[in-house]
Structure 1
């Protein structure tokens, strides 16, 4: 009993650090865009994240997989290369706080995909309600009925990134879970993502004028926002289980909106704040229904049987069988 306090304290500190690192990803993307193109940011982020995880894999005695590279390329495209690029493109005209909010729609897209594939449990009224509430929140944020609404190609790119994560999670849950050491597999995935992103460099016509701010932002984004977040998330899942890790996703929009307002001076309109609250309520409803269903099916979580894969930020991805770090 006496040891419970320090253990809980460490868990809270880890979750706080993870939420801050993931939630700040959108801030670092915004700063990187001051001197670099979206493609350059994507390549740098993937490469630095891969190096970070390669070092951690070596420390943990994990080796890169030999036979999974075809699957890893598919996962890397939908979970890293494509969404990383879409977030960087979208944030050229959309605030970082709004990007963080839209990132929270990933579980809603996951729910739709799960329904379509029949792999996400029963269709319950609570889950359907959560889905409807979540998209109502997205609609409130976009406000297409207003002239000053956020509906644009950039905003749609951000939604596309969230949907891409959902596709990746469904694929990784079927094809990558349980294969090899999780840190090494994620490092390999980011190596594949680096190669895919590099192929886009000749097509990049966006002018870039690298400066100290942009370079530092990419380094922080790759090493901390992509690499270290995986390690933190993995430790939380090992110590407390995937359900506890999933709760971090609820904090990301709050962190991204708060940092955008404090550091970048981004406006916080009542409509966007209300939309964020509605999105989070929808996500919470779907997660609540999923948690109840999972509790009925298994007596206890077995963290050691969960495979992770790196996402950026970003987002709600940390929970479940596969997680990626935006």
Structure 2
């Protein structure tokens, strides 16, 4: 049984996940300097699937996933195939830190989807305030960071679409794949996406890649995809599915800090002003921190083998 509080091991796993899913935006930004968005997605997903395959086979997780293959492919399209290529394309234009912050709006869209699905509890005053704050923060960051540039606004729109897709995917898992082991779903989905993008990757990345791009893509594949999912499963087993995703609120902090320190991305006034507004809004929209209430699950979460939502996988 998961602990009712964060253990030392839980805090260690929490910190690892905050980093592993906070640094993909840095690696993506470096990778797209040499590789096309399709190539980044093909290598990232295909490579991670190969790394996870032995674990999935050992647990017998693939057979249940194969029996539900249409829904696994739907999950793969919404959680990986669309978002991963949109992120890679957007980061050819906008900074990695801004990308990480905009992806953090997933709880806002998850709350909107919950309302559309008939969950009136999502309209509680505190959560409504969170929605207003969160989208106001996005407007501050977006309009202030773009300076009216159409390409920047389009790229930010792509990232916000990613957040919408990330918010939709858990509902597929919760309703159609809840009895399938998460590792089987993830491995099969990653493999399908990798195979699907492989032909496009071969046609769109003909030039010799720079060493930095190769290293970044390798780290994105191994650390931010394959290892991250394994650590995430361990975190869920340690602290439970309600507390496990709390690290997602640290991801934008890591993304913005790394972008500024390593890539010298500017910390614009709009980013500095909108950043805390977005984070606080997302936290309130998601229902706040579930401290002391392990039965609460305002947003569907990835668990093994319960309903899943791999967050900022990104």
**Structural mapping, 1:1-326, within 5 Å:** 8-64=7-63, 65-119=65-119, 121-143=121-143, 147=147, 151-179=152-180, 181-198=181-198, 200-201=200-201, 205=204, 208-288=207-287, 291=290, 305-308=305-308, 311=310, 315=312, 325-326=313-314
Q: What 5-or-longer segments of structure 2 have no aligned partner?
A: none
Instruction: Say if 2:39 and 2:205, in contact at 8 Å, map to a contact too.
Output: no
Quick one: structure 1 residues 197 and 121, their matched pair in 2 at CA, closer, same or farther if it must change by over 3 Å? farther
TM-score by length of 2: 0.87
Instruction: Say if 1:24 and 1:256, in contact at 8 Å, map to a contact too.
Output: yes
Question: For the residues of structure 2 that align with 1:120 and 1:234, how far apart are their CA atoms?
Answer: 31
Question: For the residues of structure 1 that align with 2:122 and 2:271, how far apart are their CA atoms?
Answer: 32
Question: For the residues of structure 2 that align with 1:12 and 1:145, how far apart are their CA atoms?
Answer: 34
Question: For the residues of structure 2 that align with 1:215 and 1:167, how far apart are their CA atoms?
Answer: 32
Instruction: Say if 1:24 and 1:259, in contact at 8 Å, map to a contact too.
Output: yes
Question: For the residues of structure 2 that align with 1:11 and 1:155, how far apart are their CA atoms?
Answer: 34
**How far has the Cα of 1:308 moved from its partner?**
3.7
TM-score by length of 1: 0.84
Instruction: Say if 2:146 and 2:153, in contact at 8 Å, map to a contact too.
Output: no
CA offset digits 1:25-84 (Å, max 9, x no partner): 000001101211111001111101111221222344533433111111111011001000
Q: Secondary structure at the match of 2:244?
A: helix
Instruction: Say if 2:32 and 2:88, in contact at 8 Å, map to a contact too.
Output: yes
Quick one: structure 1 residues 162 and 244, their matched pair in 2 at CA, closer, same or farther if it must change by over 3 Å? same
Question: For the residues of structure 2 that align with 1:77 and 1:182, how far apart are their CA atoms?
Answer: 16
Q: Secondary structure at the match of 2:67?
A: coil
Question: For the residues of structure 2 that align with 1:163 and 1:68, how far apart are their CA atoms?
Answer: 24
Number of aligned positions between the proteins: 303
RMSD of aligned C-alpha atoms? Answer: 2.7
Question: For the residues of structure 1 that align with 2:182 and 2:39, how far apart are their CA atoms?
Answer: 27
